[in-house]
Amino acid sequence: MSTESVWGRGRESNRVYTCVKCAGVIGLAMITPQVVCRLGALFALLATTMAGETNITDWNNLTVLTTGTQIQITAGSRRIRGKVDRITDDALVVTSRKGQETLNRKEVAVVLVKKPSHRKRNALVGLAAGTGVGLGIGVAARSKPGQVQIISNGAVVGVLAVVGAFVGTIVGVVIPTGGWREIYKK
């Protein structure tokens, strides 16, 4: 049996490929490359979501914290901010404003760890993006042939690039970074 008799040509505009033998039985008449790509993206998203999940009810999550790590603990109605001193199987020792505090495992409800700040990175990204936008606006704002030119084209482009770099850097620094990530919850 030839390939032409098994596979129909389908609609050329959408490149639909159908199996003539089983399209009616299985209902797979509309398999397109677009559908295959969407299914692949869905499976990749599900796989990364499932791989990223951790059991936050496990006390052993705290054992990876090193001495001096900034944490925030909720114990009953108290909220304690401090740095880790040591962690045992049944207690958490923290240095806070009040001094060294020992919290039993039973009273600790939530532990959050401080995420690193990315202000420098954001400032550099803002600098690059602002410079690019400023250059783009400067090139677009240049005087055209036959127009009166008050300021040279190079000066217009240069000034707008510097202004864009300044604004982009400020925006990059102001964007909030860091924050807290929950690593244990009773």
Taking residues 135-163, what's their average pLDDT? 88
**pLDDT confidence bin for 48, thresholds 50/70/90:** low
Mean pLDDT, to the nearest integer, of 52-78? 84
Which tokens hold the place of 112?
């959050």
Render pLDDT for 102-125 as a digit per residue (tens, 0 to 9). 999 899 999 999 988 889 999 999
Choose among 136, 114, 14: nearest CA to 66.
114
CATH code for the domain defined by 59-114: 2.30.30.520
What whole-number percentage of the chain has pLDDT above 70? 76
pLDDT at 172: 92
Q: Output 43 or 2, whichever has higher pLDDT.
A: 43
Is there a contact between 59 and 92 (Cβ–Cβ < 8 Å)? no
Task: Give 22 or 50, the one with higher predicted confidence.
Answer: 50
CA distance 93 to 107: 13
Q: What are the sequence ranges of the domains in the chain?
A: 3-52, 59-114, 119-175
Please determine, for residue 126, whether its predicted confidence score (pLDDT) is greater than 90. yes
Q: Say if CB 93 and CB 80 are below 8 A apart.
A: no
Section 59-65 average pLDDT: 85
So what's the pLDDT on residue 144?
Answer: 84
Output b/e per residue, 3-40; b: 16+ Cβ within 10 A: eeeeeeebeeeeebbbeeeebeeeeeeebeeeeeeeee
Q: What is the average pLDDT value for the chain, to the nearest integer? A: 81
> For residues 133 and 3, which has the higher predicted lDDT (pLDDT)?
133
For residue 50, is pLDDT > 80? no
Neighbours of 168 (CB within 10 A): 22
| Residues 23-36: tens digit of each pLDDT | 454 445 556 777 66
pTM above 0.75, yes or no: no
Confidence of residue 53 (pLDDT cuts 50, 70, 90): low
